[in-house]
Structure 1
Amino acid sequence: MTADVPPRTSVSRATGRPGDASPFALGLLLRRAHMRAATVMSEALRPLGIELRHFAVLIVLVDRGPTVQRDLAAATGADKAGIMRVVDDLERKGLAVRKTVPGDRRVRAVEITPQGLELFDAAHVAAESLAERLVAEMDAGEAEQLTNLLTRFAYPAVDEA
């Protein structure tokens, strides 16, 4: 004997609507997207002997030039100890060097080396086809639209009032 059981639906307990419309949905979706992108981009970096955390620092150094470790930590979302380990790794590999900052012997600026620039360029070449794979399911213009939306989301305009 079987009872009539209504079909299961994926209704959000928080809202009673299908799907996940909870306040956590966007953050979880962004985390999932980050994990997918990080996994794919790690494939490009692995043969070059570096990880995403190393490449994040190289991006900042190429963009800003010599940068103090405190600012590298802020730009990459790393903590002080974490950024020190990454810079140590980059120095060991000959990809970056620490230099004293004129006027403050206690502060060190990190600078990318010519070898670091070569690796930076090689990583971009290696990542190109993988990046295309990430957006292969999107229609023309959607990847650019996604980039624009995520940029606005990550860097909201500051009210100048």
Structure 2
Amino acid sequence: MHADVPPKTTAPRATGRPGDESPFALGLLLRRAHWHAATVMTEALRPLGIELRHFAVLIVLVDRGPTVQRDLATATGSDKAGIMRVVDDLERKGLAVRKAVPGDRRARAVDITPQGIELFDAAHVAAAPLAERLVAGLGPGEPEQLTDLLTRFAHPEGDEA
């Protein structure tokens, strides 16, 4: 079997190193930045007994209120089985509850509990010094500039998600 491979070009090849000029460079940088940020934020959440995947669901619940599991999966980039495991974890920890959805016997909405709100707020307090460490290598005004650029990149005009 033979794959359809485009003809050879002179475009730079991806290296993943600083200065990479390949068409993959931006994606590779964003992926590396994500790993770095996720590592730092995981450190903030660890003492609270949750992981980033749990916190991602709590963010959605605080922002949207009770949310059906399929919408949680979409909002967090998870699959059905993965979101069920996360919600199970949150329920076991007393941070979220499943509730019946009026008019739909099969659907369950997930809602954050008062204990979940307390943990959500505590996570922000725990993350503050680590977030400062995350951008410590940037110059004056650069953390705000980075945030602005990433916001515009992640949420193009008209994109509310």
Q: What is the match of residue 61 of structure 1?
A: 61
Q: What is the match of residue 39 of structure 2?
A: 39
Question: How far 1:140 sits from its partner (Å)?
Answer: 2.1
* Alignment of 1:136 onto 2:100: no
Question: How far 1:145 sits from its partner (Å)?
Answer: 1.4
Question: How far 1:20 sits from its partner (Å)?
Answer: 1.0
Aligned residue runs from structure 1 range 45-124, under 5 A: 45-124=45-124
Pick aligned residue for 1:15 from 12, 17, 24:
12
Unpaired runs of at least 5, structure 1: 1-12
The secondary structure found in structure 1 opposite 2:99 is: strand
**Count of residues in correspondence between the two structures:** 146
2-side partners of 1:19 and 1:55: how far apart? 34
The secondary structure found in structure 2 opposite 1:14 is: coil
2-side partners of 1:158 and 1:64: how far apart? 19
The secondary structure found in structure 2 opposite 1:105 is: strand
Question: How far 1:137 sits from its partner (Å)?
Answer: 1.2
Question: How far 1:143 sits from its partner (Å)?
Answer: 1.0
1-side partners of 2:81 and 2:109: how far apart? 16
Superimposed CA distance per residue, residues 100-139 of structure 1 (whole angstroms, 9 cap, x where no aligned partner): 1111111111000000000001110000000000011112
2-side partners of 1:139 and 1:79: how far apart? 39
Give the superposed CA RMSD. Answer: 1.7
Question: How far 1:151 sits from its partner (Å)?
Answer: 1.4
Q: What is the match of residue 146 of structure 1?
A: 146
Question: How far 1:158 sits from its partner (Å)?
Answer: 4.0
The secondary structure found in structure 1 opposite 2:111 is: strand
Matched letter for residue 143 of structure 1: P
Q: If you compute each CA radius of gyration, which structure gives the higher value, 1 or 2?
A: 1
Question: How far 1:59 sits from its partner (Å)?
Answer: 0.5
2-side partners of 1:43 and 1:77: how far apart? 22
2-side partners of 1:148 and 1:80: how far apart? 32
| Stretch deviating more after TM superposition (44-53 or 132-141) | 132-141
Matched letter for residue 131 of structure 1: A
Q: What is the match of residue 3 of structure 1?
A: none
1-side partners of 2:151 and 2:33: how far apart? 14
2-side partners of 1:49 and 1:96: how far apart? 14
Question: How far 1:78 sits from its partner (Å)?
Answer: 0.6
Taking structure 2 as the reference length, what is the TM-score of the superposition?
0.86
Q: What is the match of residue 10 of structure 1?
A: none
